[in-house]
Structure 1
């Protein structure tokens, strides 16, 4: 029975090849990805992250994710508009750090809360530097205001009649 099955499958494949159903498939003529590379047990995770365009930081344990976020704080707060928004951002990060410190899991990595005053100081210095290097804008010409009919003109018109 399996020989008959194999023969039927082979006949269908040969027929599809003759009809050209396998022509112009994506990847045709290209080498098989990963062929010749050493076996990687997490190949499917890496391919999923790449295919879905997800950051690989998601695979890190919590303390390492927190350390990476602490390193990125200056870049994260650079474009925030106010000092209060910078303090709020640091406060949220510190809340996550404290939550991890209360119940640590994963590798033992030193993670300390971020000093909000230092971050604000760096944010101000960066903002002042950007303002100093920004060329002064030319004064904008003021357009004449558009005249609109006075409110209630139709009420006065209706009362006449």
Structure 2
């Protein structure tokens, strides 16, 4: 049975070659891509990402993707117009983090929700410094030390013995 099937397939291929159906195919006469390169087990994943123009971050496990998102929060919220939009962005990210914390999978990586108040505080400070730079010609560097007359106020937890080194 298989011999008869193979003979039928071979005869169809032979007749297609005689009719010229395999002439002028795309890539004819060109070298095979990747020929001579060392073997890579994930060649098909790399070629798929390259062909579809997808970021390689999609291959990262969920906790590492979340950590990368947390690192990019300042850049992501920089151009948001209102405080509420900043809080919404942080809320959506925190919802993803909490969903992962409830059912963790992948490598054990410490991922904590983002403090929305801290992000908003930094967003406000950045907008204020950007506004002052555009409105006045200040020679002082942005984000410099506070004026010497103003005392630095620290929260109560900064005075705990194990937090003293980190509090500034």
Query: In 2, Cα distance between the equivalents of 1:120 and 1:12?
Result: 68
* Structure 2: gaps spanning 5 or more residues: 137-168
Which structure has the bigger radius of gyration? 1
In structure 1, the residue matched to 2:35 is 35
Counterpart in 2 of 1:66? 66
Number of residues of Structure 1 aligned to a counterpart in Structure 2: 132
1:28 deviates by 4.5
- 1:114 CA displacement: 1.0
Q: Deviations over 1:78-107 (max 9, x none)?
A: 111111111111111112112211221110
Unaligned runs of 5+ in 1: 137-161
Deviates more, 1:63-72 or 1:27-36: 27-36
Work out the CA distance in 1 between the residues paired with 2:91 and 2:9. Answer: 66
Aligned pair 1:22/2:26, yes or no? Answer: no
Alpha-carbon distance change, 94 to 3 in structure 1, aligned in 2, over 3 angstroms:
closer
Structure with the bigger RCO (C-alpha within 8 Å, sep 6+) is 1
What is the CA-CA distance between 1:112 and the residue it aligns to?
A: 1.1
Q: RMSD across aligned C-alpha pairs, in angstroms?
A: 2.8
